[in-house]
């Protein structure tokens, strides 16, 4: 593979990763209330959690995961 081709692939890969990370972060905060610092906002501020069972179940899994991380001494 030519160096130019490899560099182009690397650049596109890094751009795609950045976009995916931004999208995931926006969804975690906007849908589930998980802030970038690892804190969870109160459920009442996120009406989707009361109307969509799958969203509520995911929020519960996030709560358990974040609690286990805190117990293990892992920072977000």
CA geometry: angle at 28 spanning 50 and 18, to 5°? 155
B/e letters for 12-35, b = 16+ CB within 10 Å, e = fewer, are eeeeeeeeeeeeeeeebeeebbbe
Report the range of poorest mean pLDDT among 1-5, 9-13, 66-70.
1-5
- Number of structural domains in the chain: 1
List the domain range (segments joined by +) for residue 23: 3-71
Residue 76 domain-assigned (yes or no): no
- Compute the average pLDDT of residues 49-70: 96
Residue 60, H or E segment = helix 53-71
Quick check: pTM over 0.85?
no
Residue 29 domain-assigned (yes or no): yes
- At 24 the pLDDT is 97
Residue 32 domain-assigned (yes or no): yes
- pLDDT bin (cut points 50, 70, 90) of residue 62 is very high
- At 67 the pLDDT is 94
- At 75 the pLDDT is 80
């Amino acid at each position: 593979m030519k160096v130019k081709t490899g560099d182009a692939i690397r650049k596109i890969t890094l751009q795609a990763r950045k976009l995916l990370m931004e999208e995931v972060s926006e969804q975690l905060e906007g849908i589930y209330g998980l802030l970038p610092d690892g804190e969870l906002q109160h459920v009442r501020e996120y009406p989707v959690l009361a109307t969509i069972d799958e969203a509520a179940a995911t929020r519960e899994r996030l709560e358990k995961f974040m609690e286990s991380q805190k117990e293990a001494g892992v920072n977000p």
